[in-house]
């Protein structure tokens, strides 16, 4: 699914989303509301991982159904509570326009509403590649904070898979063995992945490219 072009007001100024993506990967993630407990811990966790995202050429951008004034004040709390300095932009979507575009609104939890009874967003995550294609979507309930180490793991898998003809097994972590893509013949695999091992004709493991010892 390709990301639609749209504009957004953020804590770092207005953006055109395609221009914001540029040649980078992007993680767009929504949180239900400013000045709420789980969200405060989540944005602190993301700010703490900023260097990890930078290493992977990943831009992070948050979103909630609150205005810029609320965001700016809340960032002060996030920094204080988590001992971080939050530098990524947060979209102000008090109109729910972008939330509706990405189907982020919570229609199940009747407690996740604003004072007017309008749904806040769920905890959605979108991983977007430089071609502006959405490669992963996740939605968590408002009550459950996300594991952003898992988001990094997914980015690693996607980036390595895009560069090499591999997939990654269950519970894979960067540096673990990978799976040779089914489209790769055994003759090709012998050249691409010397020493690959066959468990079943459809299941072949190889050392992750770039991690071989000299």
Half-sphere exposure of 61 (CA within 13 A, CB side): 26
φ and ψ of 147, to 5 deg: -100, 100
Catalytic residue numbers?
Answer: 39
């Amino acid at each position: 699914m390709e990301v639609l072009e749209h504009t957004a007001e953020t804590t770092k100024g207005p953006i055109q989303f395609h221009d914001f993506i540029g040649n980078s990967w992007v993680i767009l993630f929504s949180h239900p509301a400013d000045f709420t407990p789980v969200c405060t811990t989540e944005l602190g966790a993301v700010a703490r991982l900023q260097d990890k995202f930078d290493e992977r050429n990943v831009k992070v951008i948050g979103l909630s159904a609150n205005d810029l004034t609320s965001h700016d004040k809340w960032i002060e709390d996030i920094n204080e509570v988590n001992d971080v300095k939050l530098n990524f932009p947060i979209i102000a979507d008090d109109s729910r326009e972008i939330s509706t575009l990405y189907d982020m609104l919570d229609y199940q939890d009747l407690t996740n509403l604003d004072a007017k009874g309008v749904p806040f967003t769920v905890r959605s995550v979108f991983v977007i590649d430089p071609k502006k294609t959405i490669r992963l979507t996740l939605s968590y309930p408002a009550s459950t904070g996300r594991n952003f180490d898992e988001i990094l793991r997914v980015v690693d898998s996607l980036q390595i898979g895009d560069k090499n003809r591999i997939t990654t097994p269950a519970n894979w972590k960067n540096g673990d063995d990978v799976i040779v893509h089914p489209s790769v013949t055994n003759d090709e695999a012998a050249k691409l992945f010397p020493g690959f091992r066959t468990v079943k004709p459809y299941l072949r493991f190889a050392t992750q490219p770039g991690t071989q010892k000299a």
